[in-house]
Amino acid sequence: MQKTRVFHVNGMHCSACVILIESELKEIAEVGHVKASLSHLSVEVSGDFGDKSAEHIARDLSEILKPHGYSLTPERQKYLPRWHEFKIALPVAGVFIVIFLALQKIGILDFVQASEVNYSTAFVIGLVASISTCMAVVGGLVLSISANFAKEGDRVKPQILFHVGRLISFFILGGAIGLAGSVFQFGSLGVFILSLIVGLVMLILGLNLLDVFPRIKKFQPVMPSFIAKRTHGLKNLNHTLTPFLIGAATFFLPCGFTQSMQIYTLTTGSFLTGALNMFIFALGTFPALALLSFSSFSIHNKSKSGVFFKTVGLIVIFFGVFNLLNSLVAIALIPPIFNF
């Protein structure tokens, strides 16, 4: 007997998920027709399941979707913001932010004493850059992206690909700058727009991590479905190419240190010197950034993960606001706020 049932899908967040869920469920012998909907976070399944109860079917189907991080329930699960998690998340995020501000205040930049750039100073400059105000841009982005992937259950691969993408792009683009002897730089307006976008993306990702407003998930930056539809390994692509490309794009993020290194690199006049120079600089930024991107490893207990994501969410929101305010200051729209 054919029967159509509607289930609520937990963990569906992107248009690629729709295709993945549909293709997985179609594989099951009992299932005739499947239609998943992202806007309703539901899936419509027609098929002959005998006299199994809705709960039973949901459990069976969830078993198949589990490896992908989805589960089905007959009814929409009641949404729980779990406000009590802020009790720990807020002070922890506060400590992190105060440490960040204090680092800027005590003048970590004085560690860079060199006036000439060579490979070892490039590394030291990278180390300092990664804990300087650049951390608000690059570090904030790393933290928000890796936490969002970790939230979907993918803790290792996207993070590694992000760093691989970053190191490769610094090597290749560094070489290109060295060879060409000119550097691609954004003007005031370009920097402003870029900072604005980075700030807004961080705000959205940060709010998403707080897990307080369920609706905001729809604004998450993901691969457009028309690309996702044309390729196999749907979720895989989103978790492979996206972090790699974002990592590669960090070369262009507005960060004073990256810019000075790029300007120095263009004076080298050689592909290899330029490439190594930027690569070693990126390598210097790696320890701090790796610490941020693999911070999700600290979740040992599933029930504590909410606290972790709320903490990261608050930090990312702070960085987002920090970047937005700074970008408004930079175009002299508002008076300076931070006095480092």
Partner 1 sequence: MKATIISILISVLLIGGAIWLINGQGTDGEGEASNTSIVGGKQIIEIKAKGGYSPRVTYAKSGMPTLLKMKTQGTFDCSSSLVIPSLNYRTNLQPSGETEIEIPSQKAGIVMKGLCSMGMYNFQIRFD
Q: From the CA atom positions of the chain, what is the Rg in Å?
A: 23
127-130 contact pairs (CB < 8 A, 24+): 127/284, 127/285, 127/287, 127/288, 128/257, 128/284, 129/255, 129/257, 129/258, 129/281, 129/284, 129/285, 130/284, 130/285, 130/286, 130/287, 130/288, 130/289
Q: Is 336 in the site for partner 1 (CB under 8 A)?
A: yes
At residue 32, the 3 state secondary structure works out as strand
Q: Which stretch binds partner 1 (CB under 8 A): 32-40, 64-72, 129-137, 199-207?
A: 129-137
Q: Which stretch binds partner 1 (CB under 8 A): 31-39, 64-72, 156-164, 330-338?
A: 330-338
Nearest Cα to 291, choosing from 175, 124, 165, 127? Answer: 127
Q: Is 256 in the site for partner 1 (CB under 8 A)?
A: yes
Site string for partner 1, 262-291 (x = CB under 8 A): -xx---------------------------
In angstroms, give the least distance from the CB of 87 to partner 1: 4
Contact indicator for 24, 71 with CB cutoff of 8 Å: no
Footprint (CB under 8 A) of partner 1, residues 97-126: 97-98, 101-102, 104-105, 107-110, 112-117, 125
The structure tokens listed for 267 are 């004076």
Backbone angles phi, psi at 204, to 5 degrees: -65, -45
In angstroms, give the least distance from the CB of 140 to partner 1: 13
**In this complex, which beta carbon is closest to partner 1, that of residue 83 or of residue 226?**
83
Three-point CA angle 26, 32, 36, nearest 5°: 55
**Identity of the amino acid at 33:** H
**In this complex, which beta carbon is closest to partner 1, that of residue 51 or of residue 116?**
116
Q: Is 311 in the site for partner 1 (CB under 8 A)?
A: no
Q: Is 132 in the site for partner 1 (CB under 8 A)?
A: yes
Q: Is 168 in the site for partner 1 (CB under 8 A)?
A: no
Q: Is 180 in the site for partner 1 (CB under 8 A)?
A: no
**In this complex, which beta carbon is closest to partner 1, that of residue 88 or of residue 299?**
88
Q: Is 133 in the site for partner 1 (CB under 8 A)?
A: yes
Contact indicator for 266, 177 with CB cutoff of 8 Å: yes
In angstroms, give the least distance from the CB of 231 to partner 1: 37
